[in-house]
Chain A
Amino acid sequence: MELLIVGKPNVGKTLLMINFAAYLGLRELHLEVSEGDGVRRSQRLTTDRARRDLVSLYAPKTHRMQTLMLDQGLGRQRVPWTVADTMGIPEGIAEEPEIRHQVALTLERLLRADMVLHVLDASSVGLRRMEAPGPFDAALAELGQLLKGYLIIANKMDKPGSHEGLRLIKERYRGVPVTPVSAVTRRGFRDMKNWMARLMG
């Protein structure tokens, strides 16, 4: 079972993965980072350390796919599963080949994943910011309808403007399931977990 987290840069994908893992009771994360050419580096770190190293203001942005390995599923079957945190997808054609490679890789994984969380920053809807929902998100919401398990996460619900943002998101992607979440306060994590458990059977 694979859960894939996708979205534009800076919408909170990495923090969502780490804090959700903590919410599930994990104290240590087992991450596999693909270094390209099929090489994978395995890394174990505490959730605190992960937050500091992977999402703080000084941390480098996620530029490679990193996969969190979990031994126990949420469904009745309790099968091992993985959560893949991906590089943020920028709008437009990226100049750097490495970014384009990551985008291609992410899209490929997207079609194979069992569950997809499409993360939006609800506090930046309509703003001229990199993380504001755009054409890529609109296209993905369409594709999402055809995927096995697809859910839009309206993240950063703790921030000002996010309620209006959520309303706009629901209006814009009518008919697509949207779950409001804050990766910081953990609001909405229970809904997310229930959704996953249902799909894991």
Chain B
Amino acid sequence: MAEVYTPDMNPGSSEEVFHWVEAGRIAPDAAVQLLTRFQSNGAQGATTRRDRSDPDRETPDLVLEDLDRLVGLQDIKRIVRDIRAFVEIQQLRVDVGLTRNQQTFHMVFSGAPGTGKTTVARIMGRLFKALDVLPKGHLVEVERADLVGEYIGHTAQKTREVIKRALGGVLFVDEAYSLARGGEKDFGKEAIDTLVAAMENYRDELLVILAGYPDEMAWFLNTNPGLMSRFPIRLEFKDYSAVDLVHIARRMVHDRDYQLAGDAEAGLLRLLGDHEGYWHRNAGNARMVRNLLEHAIRRQAVRLSARHTPLTRHDLMTLTWTDFEGGLS
């Protein structure tokens, strides 16, 4: 579980694996491998138990440790801690007979791709499960195409299907603003309405997170004033600084059993610093780092195989700046 910040292949539940298969993100053999993990963790079958004495249940502290391991995200870490405190105090109030402050936790995550939104969303699900707010805490990640259909009634049906899958956990709608782009006549509107209705009906069983680029999300909420009050928690995911990105690179490299030579770190810092603000918008940043690494790993192999001297363990592990130079070409 080292790769907490590379969310792509780290599903939170078997439901998520099924969803990825449907979405064409993974092949059946990979899906079966992922399911094997859940089966052996006994994470399966942990369906609607709300029993606090369940031994293999995660504690909030454990979940927050994973959050702390993420690079950067200082403001977000603080807000998540505040949420935890709030929930626990409300529970204590109930325990001594005081009224609970009804609170909705639906959220808006604004930030560029690759800034950690999905990773934090997944942690949020786990936290809410650990805190007994959600029965399952799994994450179902969708986008417009998963919700919006082709004819009248189709959208409501598709959206309800998705909601059904997310019940007990977190529904994460990526690029959520695209639901409002088509205006009044667009089926996106129907998806929003269905979603809002479900949030009412399944008050204690669903956490909805709307995510997307900051500007677009601001516009989305402004054009849908009804949504503002329904999504009271707003988290802003800032672009990573060049230093953060190098830090991320170092961890990713480590997880793959490689290391960065000194010149590679310096070079990366320069490269990522030069591009700050330039590729953030579209290329996504933690993701960009991963792509850079994958290219470098391939180039290192080419470089080493052309050599005629024996290769040491150190050679095999080390990525030098020459492996990175030239970026993604």
- Chain A interface residues (CB < 8 Å from chain B): 37, 89-94, 97, 100-101, 103-104, 107-108, 111, 134-136, 138-140, 142-143, 146-147
Does B32 lie within 8 Å of A107, measured CB to CB?
yes
Q: Inside 8 A of B29's CB, which chain A residues have their CB?
A: 91, 134-136, 138-139
Chain B residues near A92 (CB, 8 Å)?
A: 27-28
Residues of B within 8 A of A139 (CB): 28-30, 32-33, 36
**Residues of B contacting A91 in the complex (Cβ-Cβ under 8 angstroms):** 27-29
Show 27 residue pairs from A and B whose CB-CB distance is below 8 angstroms, ordered by the A residue: A37-B157, A89-B28, A90-B28, A91-B29, A92-B27, A93-B24, A93-B26, A100-B21, A100-B22, A100-B23, A101-B22, A103-B21, A103-B28, A104-B18, A104-B22, A107-B18, A107-B35, A134-B29, A136-B29, A136-B32, A138-B29, A139-B28, A139-B29, A139-B36, A142-B36, A143-B32, A147-B39
Chain B 20-61 residues near chain A, CB threshold 8 A: 21-33, 35-36, 39-40, 44
Give the chain A neighbours of B27 by CB distance below 8 A: 91-93, 136
Chain A residues whose CB sits within 8 angstroms of the CB of B36 once the complex forms: 139, 142-143, 146
- Dominant secondary structure of chain B at its interface with chain A: helix
Chain B neighbourhood of A108, CB < 8 A: 14, 18
New A-B pairs, 16, CB < 8 Å, besides A139-B32, A146-B39: A92-B27, A93-B25, A100-B23, A103-B22, A108-B18, A111-B14, A134-B29, A135-B29, A136-B27, A136-B29, A136-B32, A138-B29, A139-B29, A140-B32, A142-B32, A143-B33
Most chain A beta-carbon contacts within 10 A, residue among B18, B30, B32: B32
- Set of chain A residues within 8 Å of B33, measured between Cβ atoms: 139, 142-143
Residue among A91, A101, A107 with the most chain B CB within 10 A? A107
B31 (CB) vs chain A CBs: closest residue: A107
| Number of B residues with CB within 8 Å of any CB on chain A | 23
Among B17, B26, B33, B157, the most chain A Cβ lie within 10 Å of the Cβ of B33
**Closest A-chain residue to B161, C-beta based?**
A37
Residues of B within 8 A of A90 (CB): 28
Minimum CB–CB distance from B10 to chain A (whole Å) comes to 18
Chain A residues, CB < 8 A from B290: none
B24-A100 in contact (CB<8A): yes
Cα–Cα, bound, A139→B157 (Å): 34
Closest chain B residue, CB of each to CB of A134: B29
Interface residue B234 (Cβ < 8 Å from any Cβ of A): no
A147→B31 CA distance, assembly (Å)? 16
B287 lies within 8 A of chain A by Cβ: no
Cα–Cα distance between A186 and B28 once the two chains are bound (Å): 30
* Interchain CA distance A135-B157 in the complex, whole Å: 35
Residues of B within 8 A of A101 (CB): 22
Query: Is B19's CB within 8 Å of the partner chain A?
Result: yes
Considering the chains assembled together, what is the distance between the CA atoms of A107 and B24 in angstroms? 14
- Which 4 A-B pairs give the minimum distances between C-beta atoms? A139-B32, A135-B29, A146-B39, A104-B21
B44 touching A111, Cβ below 8 Å: yes
Q: How far apart are the CA atoms of A138 and B36 in the complex, in Å?
A: 12
Q: What are the residues of chain A within 8 A of B25 when measuring CB–CB?
A: 93
CA distance A108 to B31 in the complex (A): 11
Which of B14, B17, B22, B25 has the most chain A CB atoms closer than 10 A to its own CB? B22
Chain B positions within 8 Å of A93 at CB level: 24-27
Give the residues in chain B near A140, CB-CB below 8 Å: 32
